Amino acid sequence: MPSPATLFRMRLYDQASVDLIRDAKEKLKPLLKLRDGGNLKRIQAARTPEELLDLSPLATGLAQEAWHSRMRSLGPQVLPFIRDILHQVQSLDNNEVRHRISALLIAELRWQGEAGAQALQSCLEDLDDEAAALAGVALGLINSPTSAKDVWQRYLRLKALTPESHFIGGLWGLIDLGDRRVAGEVFDYLRQKRYFYELFGFLSLAGDQRALGLLITQAMEQGRGDGIDALMAATAIAHRVGKLILVRELLTTAQPDLSEGKIGVRAHADDNAGDEIANMILSRPVQEVHEYFALFYRGFQPQDATVADEFIRQNKG
């Protein structure tokens, strides 16, 4: 399954994704109302940012949608209050409550534009690793040009210090911010065989020619079944870099140790083979790659009901 950071991004990718999650909850409304009815009324009755933020631990299920709606109605005056809580939330001893509040507040800042990005950047160092992963996602989606440095620095710490997948949130942020350093990062994970659910999708989105040889070799070794992820990622990169670079990488990968006396004959034969393989790879439309890695190129859609349900389950509504 996708990491929590990836599910978080899918939910917040655009308004249509938010609406889909809300609609999924609406289908469960009779059941959720039994659980959330009291909290829903308290949140709807709140009139100030302080009152709403005090109720944030109760914002689950139907009450969560009401909380966001009320918070949005109060406008930018809520930002200093959210920022102050995020500065302090790490001190909460209850891991579940801390994570729920952090995710709720970070999700709200995602829709507050540049002001939300600035508020989030100001408290990034105070967040625990799990919340920092979600903050990286939100900063990428806001697409604030001032965020890349902070997201990169926190990503490096997450990558180096935690065995969990929290670093994936940082990668998402950097990809959405268009940071070119991501290409080297995902190549290193591929080279080190440090596989995770998102790796081939990330290579499809942000990989460069350095990854082509390894991806094509893996696709050929694993065959049509297991090798399809590698082949699709290679296809996306090939369309970005063009045929000349693709052929060059194919030749380098195929014959790294040719003896000097045979270079001329073998290279000519390899040129033909490389050209043929390149044409085969490039004949696959890039749109087909986007459809294969669909969750990396868009937010939630109706056909993602299973993934949406998993997000709701992980976040307890």
Rg of the chain on CA atoms, in Å: 23
Considering only residues 21 and 43, tell me which one the structure prediction assigns the higher pLDDT.
Answer: 43
Q: Distance of alpha carbon 278 from its chain centroid, rounded?
A: 30
Mind listing the pLDDT tens digit for each residue in 180-201?
Answer: 999 999 999 999 999 999 999 9
86-95, 254-263, 282-291: the lowest-pLDDT one = 254-263
The answer to whether residue 258 scores a pLDDT higher than 70 is: no
- Which of the four pLDDT bands, split at 50, 70 and 90, describes residue 246? very high
The answer to whether residue 44 scores a pLDDT higher than 70 is: yes
The answer to whether residue 313 scores a pLDDT higher than 60 is: no
Helix axes 305-314, 4-12, angle to 10 degrees: 110
The pTM of this model reads 0.87
Best CA proximity match to 4, nearest among 117, 120, 135 = 135
- Which of the four pLDDT bands, split at 50, 70 and 90, describes residue 268? very low
Sequence letter at residue 184: G
The answer to whether residue 39 scores a pLDDT higher than 70 is: yes
For residue 166, give every residue at least 6 positions away whose Cβ sits within 8 Å of its Cβ, in sequence order, or none.
Answer: 5, 129, 130, 132, 133, 158
Task: Let me know: does 252 contact 213? Beta carbons within 8 Å.
Answer: yes
Residue identified by tokens 């009779």 is 30
CA distances from residue 42 to 50, 55, 271, 317 in whole angstroms, order as listed: 13, 8, 71, 17
Task: Let me know: does 13 contact 298? Beta carbons within 8 Å.
Answer: yes
Q: Distance of alpha carbon 221 from its chain centroid, rounded?
A: 28
Average pLDDT over residues 38-50: 91
Which tokens hold the place of 241?
């870099």
The answer to whether residue 152 scores a pLDDT higher than 80 is: yes
| Cα–Cα distance for residue pair 287/313, rounded to 1 Å | 31
